Amino acid sequence: MKSAMLLFLKGIAMGMADAVPGVSGGTIAVITRVYEKLIFSISAVDATAIRLLFSGRVNQLWIRINGTFLALLAAGVLTGLLISANTVLFLLTNHFELLMAFFIGLVLASAWLLKSKFDCRDISNLGSLVIGIIITLLVSVISPNSMQNASLFYIFLSGWIAICAMILPGISGAFVLLIFGVYETLLTALIEINLLVITVFGTACIGGLISFSRIISWVLKHHYEKGYSFLIGMLMGSIYALWPWKITVNPQGVENSGETILQTSNTLPLNYKMVTGNDPLILGVLLSVIAGLTLILVFNKLFASKAG
């Protein structure tokens, strides 16, 4: 029960992260050390698994895909998404700087602990690390778009790509949906229970998850150190997207302190105060970073021997 509850809580953390543009559920999966098990379990959903299903050998199928693990984690993710509607989104609106700083603390501690996954003296591993950082930075600086009346095919394509991003540390699936301009469309569909849009998007997510997880599992099996150095690079690159002090930029490039944080530019604390008139909360940000660091270090001390 203790192990099951712990796994469920990890799923909740992943779900809450996935709902926030700029934060990746894949990041939380790496932090909580369920990433490899998750990828290998999802990639086990293949032709053999389908044959087991249609032949009625459900027990063998359940064991093959690590069904209990996936079910508990999925239940946690769904619960986290529901919780985020009130908790994380409230913090995002009212305590943005402190929340982002807390996430930065999580990322820094995780990157430090996971450095043992590869030999940092190997040039090819360092190259993979740099590529991971660069890719995350490139995605982070893309400006979100807005699209009305997106076609079902476009929603399907967006969902396929976004779910691939969600299982990569450092790239936010919610932010990818913002880039494609369908984030609000999907939120509206969920609120209005538009079953057609939800079904199309859900089908795309399932297809993308199964196909992309096979690529990642192959990399981890055959190029373990390079794969992990790349993933850690993406973790480190996500700090840019998580930077606490952001100012909004309108289409003409004029900086202001508008309410939306979807189109933003990173700035230094003192400039943030001059532009927005808001307190940069430097002490609070530092304490939040320390809180994130401490949480991961304590978590690692308690559960390092278990992956979930």
User: Using one digit for the tens of pLDDT, what is the confidence trace for 153-177?
Assistant: 888 888 888 887 777 765 667 667 7
- pLDDT at residue 257, as a whole number: 42
Sheet containing 246-249: give its strands across.
255-256, 246-249, 264-266
Per-residue model confidence as pLDDT tens digits over 24-47 = 677 778 777 888 888 888 888 888
DSSP 96-157: HHHHHHHHHHHHHHHHHHHGGGS-TT-HHHHHHHHHHHHHHHHHHTSPP---SS--HHHHHH
Residue scoring higher pLDDT (283 or 15): 283
Q: Which residue has the tokens 């809180």?
A: 291
What band does 260 get if pLDDT is binned at 50, 70 and 90? Answer: very low
Tell me: pLDDT of 243 over 80: yes
Cα distance between residue 169 and residue 35, in whole Å: 9
Overall average pLDDT of the 132-151 stretch: 70
Most confident range (mean pLDDT) of 92-101, 148-157, 249-258, 295-304 is: 92-101
- pLDDT at residue 105, as a whole number: 86
Residue scoring higher pLDDT (51 or 116): 51
What band does 143 get if pLDDT is binned at 50, 70 and 90? Answer: low
Tell me: pLDDT of 121 over 80: yes
- pLDDT at residue 283, as a whole number: 93
Overall average pLDDT of the 10-16 stretch: 84
Most confident range (mean pLDDT) of 137-141, 149-153, 186-190, 205-209 is: 205-209
Judge if pTM exceeds 0.95: no
Task: Write out the two tokens for 165.
Answer: 């991003």
Burial of 7 (0-12, 13-18, 19+ CB in 10 A): buried
Amino acid 64 reads: R
* CB atoms inside a 10 Å sphere around CB 4: 13
DSSP the chain: -HHHHHHHHHHHHHHHHHTSTT--HHHHHHHTT-HHHHHHHHHT-SHHHHHHHHTT-HHHHHHHTTHHHHHHHHHHHHHHHHHHTTHHHHHHHHSHHHHHHHHHHHHHHHHHHHGGGS-TT-HHHHHHHHHHHHHHHHHHTSPP---SS--HHHHHHHHHHHHHHHTSTT--HHHHHHHHT-HHHHHHHHHHT-HHHHHHHHHHHHHHHHHHHHHHHHHHHHSHHHHHHHHHHHHHHHHHHH-S-EEEE-TT--EE--S--SSEEE--HHHHHHHH-----HHHHHHHHHHHHHHHHHHHHHHTT---
What band does 113 get if pLDDT is binned at 50, 70 and 90? Answer: confident
Q: What is the mean pLDDT of the chain?
A: 78
Overall average pLDDT of the 234-258 stretch: 67
What band does 262 get if pLDDT is binned at 50, 70 and 90? Answer: very low
Task: Write out the two tokens for 8.
Answer: 């469920």
**36 neighbors 114 (Cβ within 8 angstroms):** no
Share of the chain above pLDDT 90, in %: 6
Cα distance between residue 242 and residue 204, in whole Å: 27
